[in-house]
Amino acid sequence: MTEQLTQRSTSTGFTPPTRFAVPGRIAVSNRAASVWQTATLTEIRRETPHAATFRFAVPDWEGHLPGQHLMLRLTAQDGYVAQRHYSIASAPDDPGHIELTLDHVEGGEVSGWFHTVAEPGDQVALRGPLSGFFAWPGDRPALLVGAGSGVVPLMSMVRHHRARGLAVPLRLLVSARSPEELIYAREFGAETRPLFTRRAPQGVPVGRMAAAHVAPLLDEQPPGGWEAYVCGSNAFAEHASRLLVEAGQPVDRIRIERFG
Amino acid sequence: MNVTRGFTGRARVDNPGLPPGQYDAGDDWPVLSAEVTPELAPADWTFRLDGLVERPRTWDWEQAHALPGSAYEGDIHCVTSWSKFGMRFGGVSLDTFLEVVRPHESATHAVAYSHTGYTTNLPLADLTGGRAWIAWECDGRPLAPEHGGPARLLVPHLYFWKSAKWIAGLTLLDHDEPGFWEQNGYHARGNPWQEQRYSGD
Ligand SMILES: Cc1cc2nc3c(=O)[nH]c(=O)nc-3n(C[C@H](O)[C@H](O)[C@H](O)COP(=O)(O)OP(=O)(O)OC[C@H]3O[C@@H](n4cnc5c(N)ncnc54)[C@H](O)[C@@H]3O)c2cc1C
């Protein structure tokens, strides 16, 4: 576990005259980012009709912080490679193992392989953990806002918060099409408010995320305010980050991970 | 090479324009900025060149548009593996701006910074010789805010995180100074043809 090492604050050299919107939260290991490691699939768990969790043994995994992602590579017989980024779903306290949760994208090259071919025992290549700006070391109050598979890195934060019994406040606002499509539904607790955009359980309104969902969270913000983490498609990220700004969350305390 | 069991991948395209590990995103133009897209009107946009130059200078929207125009037609490559072919950007060549401020002999690198505070570092040699632009048009239309409008830096021969959105200025230095992604583990130069994605590649 390299948490002590990686929790150093990032040293900044050049400071632009403009406001630094999103300083990195942690320094990242250059070695971890550059070395391809072999990961062995050990378990597949269905989450929703379109998403499943893939558990890997990665013996030399250096450890990560909640919110970080990795790059995964598949190689065909003729040497052709496909590589994609995936957020890490599992909490850090799981030495030598990581979990990813993948949506099955229609016609998707990599997610398609995972959802139709992959079995325990299969091996893939990965490098990481990558990127320090979306990491949450568990230090500051965290307001997490996600949609669809955008909940994946946020779940790592929720799990970390729970596993460590952290006292720092944490809230999750998560949007899904329907209750069946809500990834990790069984695991959520009082920290989470799910929203449904197409179909909701009896008595719960249907609709996209709105000011009325965000405002109460800013009203109950802890002293010193929230560190906001937004994750999902670009369309969702644009929408949710605008709602946060309009509700009074400072732009330089909103971190956005867009899945492209 | 470790072959992934049962992975064939999509039909191979023989595309000499595609750098290693990249795929053609077609009509898609993914957005990957880490910050809130700023509401920046052209009237509030400025662009500054300073640091190791003879005459530091700031241009506003109209002054920048009064400079001779220049276009880039070609491809762009994002470190997250997508490439886009046949893009058309319009703006002004960075050479034109640099001629005005006159870099010192000692200037070797630059840090580009955005109106959001995003930064990225580049060797000066990658910014000169008709290879870098300040761009405000894409495919004949104003550059959209989520793609860096009103104006972004454009350095298409490097991975696209170097092409800072919402460009506010460049500071010329006599050494390399890592920017936002470069401090987060990404490569200092980012040449897609050498697959310089992460530090150490
Ligand atoms: C930082 C980051 C973290 C991410 N984390 C996660 C995560 O935790 N979980 C998750 O599920 N996803 C995540 N993603 C998204 C992920 O990286 C992939 O984009 C996603 O899994 C789709 O990849 P794919 O290979 O299955 O689909 P692709 O093959 O890339 O296809 C995507 C779409 O484009 C079309 N397409 C693309 N290229 C072609 C082509 N040449 N010919 C025909 N059609 C094409 C496909 O039909 C499909 O509709 C993340 C992305 C980023 C950037």
- Is the confidence at residue A131, as pLDDT, over 60? yes
Instruction: Find, in chain B, the residue whose alpha carbon is nearest to that of A26.
Output: B184
Residue B11 included in any domain = no
Q: Do B198 and A30 touch (CB under 8 A)?
A: yes
Looking at the structure, do residues A175 and A207 belong to the same domain, yes or no?
yes
Task: Write out pLDDT tens, residues A198-237.
Answer: 999 999 999 999 999 999 999 999 999 999 999 999 999 9
Give A2's pLDDT tier (boundaries 50, 70, 90): very low
Instruction: Find, in chain A, the residue whose alpha carbon is nearest to that of B167.
Output: A18
Residue B44 pLDDT: 95
Q: What is the pTM of this model?
A: 0.92
Residue B28 included in any domain = no
Burial of B14 (0-12, 13-18, 19+ CB in 10 A): exposed
Spatial neighbors of A207 by CB under 8 A, at least 6 apart, are A195, A197
Of ligand 1's listed atoms, the one at least distance from the Cα of A113 is 26
Task: Write out pLDDT tens, residues A17-40.
Answer: 776 566 677 777 767 777 899 999
Looking at the structure, do residues A33 and A102 belong to the same domain, yes or no?
yes
Instruction: Give the pair of three-digit tokens for residue A211.
Output: 């000011």
Looking at the structure, do residues A20 and A107 belong to the same domain, yes or no?
yes
Looking at the structure, do residues A110 and A158 belong to the same domain, yes or no?
no
Q: Are B158 and B126 in contact (CB under 8 A)?
A: yes
Angstrom distance (rounded) from CA A50 to CA A72: 20
Q: Are A155 and A257 in contact (CB under 8 A)?
A: no
Residue A137 included in any domain = no
Give A5's pLDDT tier (boundaries 50, 70, 90): very low
Residue A234 included in any domain = yes
Q: Are A178 and A211 in contact (CB under 8 A)?
A: no
Spatial neighbors of A50 by CB under 8 A, at least 6 apart, are A103, A104, A181
Residue A19 pLDDT: 66
Residue B22 included in any domain = no
Looking at the structure, do residues A96 and A149 belong to the same domain, yes or no?
no
Find how far residue A34's CA is from the centre of its chain. Answer: 21
Q: Do A10 and B183 touch (CB under 8 A)?
A: yes
Amino acid at B68: P
Domain count, chain B: 1
Ligand 1 pocket mutation pick from B10, B31, B85, B181 by most atoms within 8 angstroms of CB: B10
- Is the confidence at residue A55, as pLDDT, over 60? yes
The pLDDT tens digits along chain B (201 residues) read: 689 999 999 888 888 999 998 989 999 999 999 999 999 999 999 999 999 999 999 999 999 999 999 999 999 999 988 999 999 999 999 999 999 999 999 999 999 999 999 999 999 999 999 999 999 999 999 999 999 999 999 999 999 999 999 999 999 999 999 999 998 888 999 999 999 998 888
Residue A25 pLDDT: 75
Q: Are B197 and B187 in contact (CB under 8 A)?
A: yes
Looking at the structure, do residues A105 and A59 belong to the same domain, yes or no?
yes
Average pLDDT, whole number, for chain A? 91
Find how far residue B2's CA is from the centre of its chain. Answer: 34
Residue A9 pLDDT: 38
Radius of gyration of chain A (CA): 18
Looking at the structure, do residues A119 and A197 belong to the same domain, yes or no?
no
Closest CA to B38 of A184, A21, A120, A68: A21
Q: Are A177 and A185 in contact (CB under 8 A)?
A: no
Residue B14 pLDDT: 82
Looking at the structure, do residues A125 and A200 belong to the same domain, yes or no?
no
Amino acid at A168: V
Residue B19 included in any domain = no
Residue A126 included in any domain = yes
Looking at the structure, do residues A41 and A68 belong to the same domain, yes or no?
yes
Looking at the structure, do residues A211 and A158 belong to the same domain, yes or no?
yes
Query: What CATH code is carried by the domain that includes residue B113?
Result: 3.90.420.10
Residue A206 included in any domain = yes
Domain end marker among A130, A153, A171: A130
Looking at the structure, do residues A83 and A165 belong to the same domain, yes or no?
no
Residue B185 included in any domain = yes
In terms of residue numbers, what domain contains B88?
Answer: 47-194
Residue A66 included in any domain = yes
Looking at the structure, do residues A77 and A176 belong to the same domain, yes or no?
no
Of ligand 1's listed atoms, the one at least distance from the Cα of A84 is 17
- Is the confidence at residue A4, as pLDDT, over 50? no
Q: Is B84 on the interface with A (CB under 8 A)?
A: no
Domain count, chain A: 2
Region for A4 from its dihedrals, namely left if φ exceeds 0, alpha if ψ lies in -120 to 50, beta otherwise: alpha
Angle between helices A234-246 and A211-219 (to 10 degrees): 50
Q: Are A238 and B37 in contact (CB under 8 A)?
A: yes
To which residue do tokens 């010329």 refer? B172
Q: Do A132 and B177 touch (CB under 8 A)?
A: no
Region for B129 from its dihedrals, namely left if φ exceeds 0, alpha if ψ lies in -120 to 50, beta otherwise: left
Q: A69 C-alpha to center of ligand 1: Å?
A: 14
Query: What CATH code is carried by the domain that includes residue A198?
Result: 3.40.50.80
Q: How much of chain A, in percent, has pLDDT values that exceed 70? A: 92
Residue B15 included in any domain = no
Residue B184 included in any domain = yes
Angstrom distance (rounded) from CA B133 to CA B155: 7
In terms of residue numbers, what domain contains A83?
Answer: 6-130
- Is the confidence at residue A8, as pLDDT, over 60? no
Q: A209 C-alpha to center of ligand 1: Å?
A: 24
Q: Cβ atoms within 10 A of the Cβ of B66, count?
A: 9
